[in-house]
Amino acid sequence: MNTSANTSSPMPDQVRAEAVIDLAAVAANIERLRASSSADVMVVVKADGYGHGDVAIARHARDIGVSWLGVALPAEALALRDAGDEGSILAWLLTPGQGDTVECVMRDVDLGVSDRWALEEIAGIGRDTGMMPRVHLKVDTGLGRGGVSWTKWPELVRRARVLRDEGVLDVVGVWSHLASGEQPDSEITAAQARVFADALEVVDDAGLQPRWIHLANSGAVLNGSENSWGFEQTLVRCGIATYGITPGLALGDSAALGLRPAMTLQARLAVVKEVPAGHGVSYGHLWTAAAPTVLGLLPLGYADGLPRTARNPEVLVEGRRRPIIGRIAMDQCVLDLGAPDEVGDIEAGTAVTVFGPGAKGEPTAEDWADWADTIGYEIVTRIGPRVPRRYVEETRA
């Protein structure tokens, strides 16, 4: 059996498939982001750390001095607490009446406020528990998702001041989210920054003095646009760049940005066989062998996260790109390994790299995003729980 994978971290013989997560790459990406901003960096670990494993990434981030973690859901914050995390965490996607919100207050999690109901509910938790919940008020500066609308912002801020003075919550942050942060010189971003600056004036006029001011995401940090906004941020929220994926190709790919993709997805061939000319492959026979061909069965499919809609995707086998042919199925897909006299010693058990950093010729997550007409975020985040994560610390430059 061929046991050499196409990364410097060989697959264990008994493993069907795995996502190898290079923690040294995560650390290098965090340092790249720190070097690009004067503000503290919040590492966003929502959606299971963008598919990389929230607990493992959080622990590693804390080990290298990251003071803030960000998640969307209160349940994600509580899972980190359950795993032993004791540092600052912000959770921002609340819905009315969630029991998790109460538990977040009790377990020292900061909460994002995007509507008046959330402010009142959190204040009520403060009254009932005697705790002092910490909130980050979010203003919608133009993205049109979460955040208090500009017309309601002054009213919310005044109410927050009353509740703070009552001693039932503390306003420790003000924030918003960008629509086009990855676009250099974006007028949309410039307009959002102006609205945010006005929102900060409202906060200042109300006598609130939040410590944490944050608007920039990975894209805005990497393109430096935050330096032209005219107000000082004390925190930046960095998600996808932490994992070595470009926030947007307008900025360049990962390599151009000095980022190191942290995830390598690999699997072992389950079957290798020769088929004659005219033999079809997978549902609907979208591919038919034009000549005798050796096929390889890769035991990964759309249930594991491979996008069924990918057009002409490739993988790396024994140092050479090989196409995936026919439809990607739920649990498996098929590779064209070439003519019988071209296959060499490829056999069942041979390791295949689906994507990785690209340093050895393998496709990257960004390549897969292009083939599926999506973004790198989706490729890594959708890798499912049937694929175990293995954590290493590589030393490649």
- Residue 377 among the catalytic residues: no
First to last CA, the chain: 30
Query: Which among 138, 243, 273, 283 is annotated as catalytic?
Result: 283
Written as one letter, the residue type at 81 is R
Which has the closest alpha carbon to 226: 66, 218, 210, 44? 218
Query: Which among 46, 243, 302, 391 is annotated as catalytic?
Result: 46
Q: How far apart are CA 57 and CA 282, in angstroms?
A: 37
SS3 assignment for the chain: CCCCCCCCCCCCCCCCEEEEEEHHHHHHHHHHHHHCCCCEEEEECHHHHHCCCHHHHHHHHHHCCCCEEEECCHHHHHHHHHCCCCCEEEECCCCCCCHHHHHHHHCCCEEEECCHHHHHHHHHHHHHHCCCCEEEEEECCCCCCCCECHHHHHHHHHHHHHHHHHCCCEEEEEECCCCCCCCCCCHHHHHHHHHHHHHHHHHHHCCCCCCEEECCCHHHHHHCHHHHCCCCCCEEEECHHHHCCCCCCCCCCHHHHCCCCCEEEEEECCEEEEECCCCEECHHHCEECCCCEEEEEECCCCCCCCCCCCCCCEEEECCEEEEEECCCCCCCEEEEEECHHHCCCCCCCCEEEEECCCCCCCCCHHHHHHHCCCCHHHHHHCCCCCCCEEEECCCCC
- Residue 152 among the catalytic residues: no
Looking at the annotation, which residues are catalytic?
Answer: 46, 283
